[in-house]
Amino acid sequence: MMRKTVFLLLACAILASLWGCHKSSNTDQGPRRVLNIPDDFKEWSLFQPGSYWVYKNEKTGIADCTAYKHGPYTWQANYTNVPLDETYIWFYTRGNQVTGYDIKGGLQGNATLLLNMAGFYVSVLALNNNTILNPGHGDTSNSYSTYKFIERWDTLIINKHPFPDVLHTRNTWPGYYVVFDFYWAKGVGLVRLQKTGTDTDTTWSLMRWKSVQ
Amino acid sequence: MVKKFRAISILLLTGLTAALCLNGCTKESEQSYYIQETFKPWSIYKPGSYWIYLNEKTGAQDCTWVYAISRQMSYEGGNGSSDPVIHREYIMMDLSGKLFNAITVNGQGSDESLMEISPCVRYFDAIGFSNQMMLNPSFRHYFEVHQIYNLGVKTVYPSETIHGNTFTNVYDLRHEWLNYTGDSLVTEAHLVKNTGIVLYRTYRESKDTTWSLLRWKVIQ
């Protein structure tokens, strides 16, 4: 009886000492998830050096070129505190509209493309893979902005050029009084960009381009 | 007798339990980190010190001088937190001039101190140097998501002559990085013991500016 008591108390002491500095373990967080960028999404969003896009201002007629600056850079984030691996690919562009493309793998086959808009120091969600796979199912918002699918055309003619399968997405930033409308064509990139502010409304439409993929 | 023994056992084991619990989470004793004496000739400049630089492109001159110095011990940890209590020596120098506006030095560990020289131009990062960089010069390449930069001591020149003055053991402190829009930026500061920065170069997408030391007076 006494031995049993001593044994129990000793066991309690060891358990208590271990509990005193208990660290949460990661073993109960499920299998490791890898967030890759689907190949199909890359055809919409990922370009290589040598790419350029010349846009025409629909109001003034002036042209502006977005040209590949450098990249692409790939980074695989392997988190140790959660069982998660995320893939990032980004590249920089030179121009007055877009200064960078930032692609990231998402959950359950999703992936996102954020654009660094010139003069707007926040990345803007411009396209995600859920929108491509199932338009309307990629809509998302946070406390700053709302991204949503607007329309999908079988063919959209821009500057007399017919682009097949064009996706129109919109990102609204109420706090900044600005709305970005993006028109995407697979294998080409951004074919039209509309920026709407409180007293500005500028549309840039693609005239010439070279999309290297 | 048995009851008494059991009571003593319970008492002893309860004490043991408590001791083990407390021992498992024991706090480290207080630490005080001072700036190493060997690092001070590189980093501490008292009021009255000045450096006159020449812009190598425009020929303009600029005088940087120390107008104030202060020392304090910071206090970290404790106050109920599990972090150990650390007292850290800080020495701050306020500068006047167009190139730099402050030098901050602090004790980081028993063999490490950090020095930061803040440039006046906003988009250039501070120039960093440390006791360990002085002892073991190295230049490191960093690549992380959306962050690509190289940082450290690029070269230690045995000697360098600037405007007729020869300096020995010159540390080329280099920082090369890409900013948000993918622009390349570089800062290059040549640091000399008991003298300070003898050459300061900044580069940002084709804009290259170099300031080199003409005259100086250092009070340490």
Answer whether residue B88 is part of any domain. yes
Partner-chain residue, chosen from B6, B13, B180, that has the shortest CB–CB distance to A2: B6
**pLDDT tens per residue, range A71-88:** 999 998 888 888 889 999
The parent domain of residue B163 ranges over 31-217
Residue carrying the six token digits 């043991």: B16
CB B191 within 8 A of CB B198: yes
Residue of A15, A19, A23, A75 to mutate, interface with B, max B Cβ within 10 Å: A75
Sequence ranges of the domains in chain A = 33-210
Cα(A49)–Cα(A67) distance, integer angstroms: 9
How far is the C-alpha of B153 from the C-alpha of B156, rounded, in Å? 7
Answer yes or no: is pLDDT of B21 > 80.
Answer: no
CA–CA gap between residue A134 and residue B128 (Å, rounded): 50
Of B17, B146, B182, nearest to A12 by CB-CB distance is: B17
Residue B118 is assigned to a structural domain of this protein: yes
pLDDT band at A206 (very low <50, low <70, confident <90, very high): very high
Q: Is residue B107 one of the residues assigned to a domain?
A: yes
Q: Is A16 in contact with B178 (Cβ distance < 8 A)?
A: no
User: Which chain B residues have a beta carbon less than 8 Å from that of A19?
Assistant: 21
- Give the separation between CA A165 and CA A178, rounded to whole angstroms: 26
A149 and B213 in contact (C-beta within 8 Å)? no
pLDDT greater than 80 at residue B13? no
**Chain A residues with beta carbon closer than 8 angstroms to that of B149:** none
**β-pair partners for B149:** B142, B177
B48: left (phi over 0), alpha (psi -120 to 50) or beta: left
Confidence bin at B83 (pLDDT 50/70/90): confident
Tell me, yes or no, whether B178 lies in a domain: yes
Please give the model's pTM, rounded to 2 decimal places.
0.77
Residue B19: predicted pLDDT: 54
Say whether B6 and A20 touch across the interface (CB within 8 A): no
Domains of chain B: total = 1
What local confidence, expressed as pLDDT, does residue A23 receive? 47
Assign residue B133 a region (left: φ > 0; alpha: ψ between -120 and 50; beta: otherwise): alpha
pLDDT of A136 reads: 83
B chain contacts of residue A23, beta-carbon cutoff 8 Å: none
Q: Is residue B23 part of a domain?
A: no
State mean pLDDT over A88-113.
Answer: 94
User: What are the φ and ψ backbone dihedral angles of B60, each rounded to 5 degrees?
Assistant: -70, 150
Asked whether the predicted pLDDT for residue A6 surpasses 70, the reply is no
Give the pLDDT of residue B4: 59
Q: By C-alpha distance, which of A127, A123, A103 is closest to A115?
A: A123
Which residue among A9, A19, A121 sits closest to B13, beta carbon to beta carbon?
Answer: A9
Return the pLDDT at A12.
53
Option in A14, A20, A91 nearest B25 (CB): A20
- How does pLDDT run across B149-190, given as a tens digit for each residue? 999 999 999 999 999 999 999 999 999 999 888 999 999 999
In this prediction the ipTM stands at 0.72
In a domain, B181, yes or no: yes
Q: Which of A19, A88, A116 sits opposite B180 (nearest CB)?
A: A116
What is the average pLDDT across B49-76? 96
Task: Compute the mean pLDDT over every residue in chain A, rounded to the nearest whole number.
Answer: 89
Q: Which residues of B touch A (CB under 8 A)?
A: 2, 5-6, 9-10, 13-14, 16-17, 20-25, 143-146, 148, 178, 180-182
Which residues does A40 contact at the CB level (< 8 Å), separation at least 6?
Answer: A129, A132
Q: If interface means Cβ-Cβ distance under 8 Å, which residues of chain A face chain B?
A: 2, 5-6, 9-10, 12-14, 16-21, 69-71, 73, 75, 77, 88, 90-93, 99-100, 102, 116, 118, 121
Q: Residue B71: which pLDDT band, with cuts at 50, 70 and 90? A: very high
Measure the CA angle with vertex A200, ends A172 and A142; round to 5°: 10
CA distance A17 to B21: 4
B8 occurs within a structural domain? no
Flag if A9 and B2 touch (Cβ within 8 Å).
no
Query: Which chain B residues are Cβ-neighbours of A2 within 8 angstroms?
Result: 2, 5-6, 9
Higher pLDDT pick, A124 / A13: A124
Instruction: Find, among B110, B106, B115, B98, the residue nearest to B202 by Cα.
Output: B98
Rounded mean pLDDT, B85-91: 95
For residue A61, with 0-12 CB atoms within 10 Å meaning exposed, 13-18 middle and 19 or more buried, which class applies?
A: exposed
| Choice between A142 and B122, residue whose per-residue pLDDT is larger | A142
**Is position B209 within any domain?**
yes
Residue A79 and residue A85 in contact, taking contact as beta carbons nearer than 8 Å: yes
* Among A112, A86, A90, CA closest to A101: A90
Q: For residue B135, which phi and psi values (nearest 5 degrees)? A: -75, -40
Q: Do B17 and A16 touch (CB under 8 A)?
A: yes
pLDDT digits (tens, 9 = 90+) for A55-71: 999 999 999 999 999 99
Q: What whole-number distance in Å separates Cα of residue A106 and Cα of residue A109?
A: 6
Contact B24 A18 (CB under 8 A): yes
Binary contact (A10, B13; C-beta < 8 A)? yes
Please judge whether B25 and A75 are an interchain contact, meaning their C-beta atoms are less than 8 angstroms apart.
no
Q: What is the pLDDT of residue B216?
A: 98
CATH (residue range A33-210): 2.40.360
Condensed to tens digits (0 to 9), the pLDDT of residues A153-203 reads 999 999 999 999 999 999 999 999 999 999 999 999 999 999 999 888 999
> Cβ–Cβ contacts within 10 Å for residue A91, how many?
20
